[in-house]
Structure 1
């Protein structure tokens, strides 16, 4: 059973919010705290997977200004580079790309009438 698109959109939005919360103390604090690094990387992986599950082709068709295939590919890159993720690269993603992705997710939610503040209830088997 495929989840409603709104579930994925809200997951992406939630993950972005959590990442922003985790890194609010700045780059140096991020670089010194493994738990924060792990939390940020995990949420970037979830964002990439959710983008993949939404379908990069459909996202690109409706919002071509965002590099959806690269966002989806980030999930695989992070998952397979667990021995040596460049934390400066992660920080650059958070600082430079996450705000743009957040803007696009808000635009998509507005276009599709998705309430980003609605609770995301997981589907049970």
Structure 2
């Protein structure tokens, strides 16, 4: 499939993901898990960025996701749904683990997709 889709280019969605990951990293720079738990403003900003990442992932065509099946696309989109619709049950430890363990791999994969 072409990297173009509708009015926005798929690269726009991929760049949205990278931008949100960069923002998250800036927001939590120098923070511990405990700091994040106690800083509502930063926590809410991080959650919003993760929601955008999940929404952007949903806009990436299946053909591109299939080419990069090593990435847990469905889980990323699922996290967005949970953050948005089940906000009362958000596990901050899961958010922290996602930031520290999963986002670096996502950033690397998205960068590879963009550079082709």
Deviation string 1:10-47 (CA, Å, 9 cap, x unpaired) is 10000000001111122222111001110111000000
Partner of 2:44: 38
Q: TM-score, normalised by structure 1?
A: 0.83
Following TM superposition, by how much is the alpha carbon of 1:84 offset from its aligned partner in structure 2, in angstroms? Answer: 2.6
Runs of 4 or more consecutive aligned structure 1 residues displaced over 6 Å after TM superposition:
none
Q: TM-score, normalised by structure 2?
A: 0.89
State the SS of the aligned residue for 1:83.
Answer: helix
Residues 19 and 40 of structure 1 are in contact (CA less than 8 Å); yes or no, is this contact kept in structure 2? yes
Gaps of 5+ in 2: 1-5
Structure 1 or 2: more helix by fraction:
2
Q: How far apart, in 2, do the equivalents of 1:35 and 1:84 lie? A: 18
**What is the total number of aligned residue pairs between the two structures?**
110
Partner of 1:102: 107
Aligned to 1:5, which of 5, 10, 26?
A: 10
Gaps of 5+ in 1: 112-125
Deviation string 1:37-69 (CA, Å, 9 cap, x unpaired) is 1011100000000000113x2233211111111
